[in-house]
Amino acid sequence: MTMYNPPHPGEFINATYIEPLHISLRAAAVKLDVSPSTFSRLIKGDADVSPVMALKLCKAFGRSPESWMMMQAEHELWKARKKVNLDRVTVIYSTLHV
């Protein structure tokens, strides 16, 4: 089964806000109160959304800070699932102890 590839938040921001609204990365960075290089790294997927960035993205673009963090987490989990081999990991405890 092929798993859905959740987008990196930067890819989402670029496709949903930056390109359609014709906003330059520099102008968006100024409005987010971050350096242009920081915002550029985020858009390229070279930097992750931090809790501080999630708060700034919430104010600038909407969506809750939790949704920005969840988008980042989903992307990271997808990447991990592609490369982590769990064959040697065994179950330690599989039933609820009542």
Q: What percent of the chain lies above the pLDDT cut of 90?
A: 86
Closest by Cα among 36, 34, 67, 81 to 53: 34
pLDDT of 4 reads: 79
Residue type, 82: K
Q: Decide yes or no: CATH 1.10.10.10 for domain 9-83.
A: no
52/61 Cα distance (integer angstroms): 14
The mean of the pLDDT values for the chain is: 94
Quote the pTM value.
0.85
Residue type, 89: V
